[in-house]
Amino acid sequence: MIDDYEDGNALAGPLSEIFTFDVTTADTRCAGCGRTGPVAGLRVYTHAPGLVARCPGCEEVVLRVVRTPTAAWLDLRGSVALRIPLAPA
């Protein structure tokens, strides 16, 4: 069912294996429509193999992550940029 999705918050655990910062608090710009918003606000579909995060504006796939026993595949082609909040340098 296309309406069965979770928020980008659900990516926090799986992505914590890959990144040392909390990616869900970063802002992402959608390659499809240019919408900018927190990764936590994406729509995450868990029925696909792995996790598929879509833009809440245009439904373009922004991010995909698939975990195998020995590796993680991270596909960010739907994301123009990630803006990651950092402490002042």
Report the residue number, 7 or 75, with the smaller CB distance to another protein.
7
Q: In terms of Cα–Cα distance, which of 30, 29, 16 is closest to 59?
A: 30
Report the residue number, 22 or 77, with the smaller CB distance to another protein.
22
Report the residue number, 23 or 61, with the smaller CB distance to another protein.
23
Token pair 């990764």: residue: 39
- Name the H helices within the chain: 12-16
32 token code pair: 């499809």
Provide the minimum distance between the beta carbon of 9 and another protein in the complex, in angstroms, as a whole number.
Answer: 5
Provide the minimum distance between the beta carbon of 88 and another protein in the complex, in angstroms, as a whole number.
Answer: 18
